[in-house]
Structure formats: structure tokens, C-alpha cells
Amino acid sequence: MRTMPAVLVVEDEPAIAELIAVNLRHNGFRPTWAMDSISAQREIDAALPDLILLDWMLPGESGLSLAKRWRAGERTKGVPLIMLTARGDEADRVAGLDAGADDYIAKPFSTKELLARVRAVLRRHSPEQSGEAIVIAGLSLDSATHRVSFADQPLKLGPTEFKLLHYLMGHAERVHSRGQLLDKVWGDHVYIEERTVDVHVKRLREALGAAGVMVETVRGAGYRLTAKPAVPVAVLDKANVA
Ligand code: CA
């Protein structure tokens, strides 16, 4: 049950934007098109995409300036960004990467190359969107079949706990604030109290049983999923379960 990654295409040339959008759509992405910095900002304000393809040369504010602004913004700084440009020399490439772009594609490009780079950047940023099973210290989550198991014992999780675990396992060992988890798991612009996160983390720990200790509270910072919890995982003795 993978969701289709949303890609914001910021490009003032309709023919190129259309070419990119068609190819993204045919390959399981949800493209949105903005033709200048103002409409791009409007799209970003409405909903954060999973990735931004940003043309350098735009009417009005340039793509480079937009990239810098989004990188500096608390809400937008984590969104992966690929710069797209006809300016292929090294100084420009460096300026694009300095502005915080994750990758850089010089025009003209092949759609095959574009898709490969989009996938690579997404894989780096959101391993949970790659559609493969994630296994960490015996805890396994398969997003294709929606199955979770620990030490080969199947576990039952509610839908929100599943999404929460999916995100935490996809970004393991990193600390996520309640606000970040709300954004990533509940969805951007969903106004829910941060305490809701605590409630679902508690339910998730209960559902995980012995593996519950892998979901750690980091005081004053948030939560993290770790392969090496401070409290060691007590693997269930199968004889006791039976
Ligand atoms: Ca352009």
C-alpha cells in the first residue's frame, strides 16, 4: 500500500514541464506543476511535496534563490530538491549544490536519467518509500503486505501505529520531534495536538511487545527507533509463549 510520492515541478517552459509530468505520472509519481516562484510557493504552502524539481531560470525570483529560501525555512528544509538547468558548467553546478540542492540535472536530459535521479534522491531521503521490507534487529516491516513481525512472531498493529513504525524504521537511529512525526506520519497541515503522538507511541510500544524498547524516548527531543536500545530487548522464549 505505497502512497505515490508527490513531486512539485517548478518549470516555466510548458513543453518541458509536460514532458516531465507525463513521465512522472507513468512511473508512479504524483506531479504538480508550478510555472513560477509565486505559484511554486503557493503549492508549497498548501502541501509539502515529497520532492521538488526546480528549474534554475524562472521568470521573477530565480530557482537558485527559491532553493536557498526553502533550505532556510524550518518547514521546507527537509524536502529533497533537484535543480534543473541549461547552465551546465561547474561553477553553476557548485552554486546549485551550495544552495542546498540534493542533485543537479543539466538540460537537455533524458527522461530515463531524470527518473533515475528522482528515485535515487527519494531512496536516500525516504527509504520507507522504496517499497521493500525493512528489517532492524529482528523487527521486520513489509510495506507491500502490511506485515510486521519480531523474531518471526507476527505482530498486530493499528493503521496509525503501522505508519508511525514505518516512518521510524525508515529513519532509524535518528531523533524525531513530535512536530516532525505529526508532519510525516499524520500529514502536513494536520492540526493535531502533539500529545497525540505520545498516545500512539505508547500503543506502538505495547503492540511491539518485547521489541517495544526499541522505540526510545529522547528527553526534550522526541522519539527514535534504535537497533541498540538502552534497555536490551528480551527476546521471547518461544517455549513460554506456547
Ligand atoms: Ca526556465
Residue 129 lies in a domain: no
Instruction: Say whether both 33 and 65 belong to one domain.
Output: yes
Q: Give the CATH number, domain containing residue 34.
A: 3.40.50.2300
Distance (Å, rounded) from C-alpha 114 to C-alpha 164? 30
Q: Which of 100, 124, 148 is the last residue of a domain?
A: 124
Distance from the alpha carbon of residue 66 to the mean position of ligand 1, in angstroms: 13
Residue 133: pLDDT band by 50, 70, 90 thresholds? confident
Length of the chain: 242
**pLDDT at position 241:** 45
The CA 154 to ligand 1 mean position distance, Å, reads: 52
Helices (runs of H) and strands (runs of E) counted in the chain: 9, 11
End position of a domain, from candidates 124, 158, 182: 124
Nearest CA to 140 among 227, 232, 222? 227
For residues 81 and 165, state if they share a domain.
no
Q: Kindly state whether residues 93 and 165 are assigned to the same domain.
A: no
Rounded to the nearest angstrom, the distance between the alpha carbon of 11 and the centre of ligand 1 is 6
> What is the CATH number for 187?
1.10.10.10
- Cα of 119 vs centre of ligand 1, distance in Å, is 23
In a domain, 1, yes or no: no
Distances (CA, A) of 80 to 64, 70, 77, 191: 14, 10, 8, 24
113 lies in a domain? yes
Residue 73 Cα, ligand 1 centroid: separation in angstroms?
24
Among candidate residues 124, 158, 180, the one where a domain is terminated: 124
Centre of ligand 1 to C-alpha 95, Å, is 17
Asked whether residue 154 falls in the same domain as residue 89, the answer is no
* Averaged confidence pLDDT in the chain: 88
Answer yes or no: do 114 and 144 share one domain: no
pLDDT given at position 107? 87
Q: Give percent above pLDDT 70 in the chain.
A: 91
How far, in Å, is the centroid of ligand 1 from the Cα of 123?
Answer: 27
57: CA distance to ligand 1 center in Å? 4
pTM equals 0.60
Ranking 4-13, 75-84, 96-105 by mean pLDDT, the lowest is 96-105
Q: Is residue 82 in a domain?
A: yes
Rounded distance from Cα 103 to ligand 1 centre (Å): 17
- Within-domain flag for 151: yes
Q: Ligand 1: distance of its center to the CA of 105 in Å? A: 13
Please give the tally of structural domains in the chain: 2
| Residue 97 is assigned to a structural domain of this protein | yes
Please indicate, yes or no, whether residues 72 and 109 belong to a single structural domain of this protein: yes
Please enumerate in sequence order all residues whose Cβ is within 8 A of that of 137, keeping only pairs 6 or more positions apart, or say none. Answer: 211, 214, 227, 228, 233
Which domain covers residue 29, as residue numbers?
6-124
Q: Give CA–CA dist 98/114, Å, rounded.
A: 20
| pLDDT tens-place string over residues 6-20 | 999 999 999 999 999
The reported pLDDT for the residue numbered 130 is 58
Q: What is the structure's pLDDT at 97?
A: 81
Cα 17 to averaged position of ligand 1 atoms, centre (Å): 10
As a whole number, mean pLDDT of residues 137-158 equals 91
Which range, of 102-111, 124-133, 145-154, 218-227, averages the lowest pLDDT? 124-133
Residues 102 and 44 in one domain: yes
- pLDDT tens digit string along 15-72? 999 999 999 999 889 999 999 999 999 999 999 999 999 999 999 999 999 999 999 9
How sure is the predictor about 148, in pLDDT bands with cuts at 50, 70 and 90?
very high
Tell whether 182 is covered by a domain: yes
- Are residues 64 and 140 both part of a single domain? no
